Amino acid sequence: MTVADAPPARPLILGSTSRYRRELLTRLGLPFDAVAPHVDETPLPGEAPRALAQRLALAKARDVAERHPDAVVIGSDQVADLHGEPLGKPGTHERAVAQLQRMRGQTVIFQTALAVVCQADGFEQTDLTAVEVRFRQLSDAEIERYLRAEQPYDCAGSAKSEGLGIALLDAIVSDDPTALIGLPLIRTARLLRAAGLTLP
């Protein structure tokens, strides 16, 4: 079979409404659509952060794949893990203040799970990246100034490392540099190649 005879590449869908994940995925140079998954993100009783992130990433990919069975679908989820307790998106200024007060001087593990699903091919693979983030010993005034400046209320852990939030940290330890922003691109590229897509 020649290149001209090769079947067309399957469409790629990002199963997410996150603007951060959309911006990251554009870096791979592949055309894609973004579709909102319909998944309840409530943690199960006693569910560990790692398990929660993995379950939700796969549930998001499967949900969108059911509606688009010929597509390769990416699902991802991130949970901030403070000593085994999941911390979600704060949603409000008050909750963000409380999160950052709890995390100051602490090491938080950001569990970023990834799933790629294609129903037509029976393809389903998952991966998980654990990013270690060490927060500085922040004063209440620093927390307040940061939140007023950046308003990261839609971010797990109440801080944007790609923006001013980097000033809150002592260190980031990761083998996939975009994982903390919400989509580990090294692993995403690996799973997309496994699913049969050709990256530029």
**Residue 37 one-letter amino acid:** P
Structure token pair of residue 194: 């496994």
Question: In angstroms, rounded to a whole number, what is the distance separating the alpha carbons of residues 137 and 133?
Answer: 13
- Residue pair 66/8 in contact by the 8 Å Cβ criterion: no
> Collapsing DSSP states into helix, strand and coil, what is residue 108?
strand
Among all chains, which residue has been given the structure tokens 């799933």? 115
In this structure, what DSSP letter does residue 166 have? Answer: G
Nearest CA-CA partner of 151 in 102, 77, 90: 90
Nearest CA-CA partner of 15 in 80, 75, 93: 75
- Residue pair 112/78 in contact by the 8 Å Cβ criterion: yes
Question: In angstroms, rounded to a whole number, what is the distance separating the alpha carbons of residues 124 and 121?
Answer: 9
Catalytic residues: 77
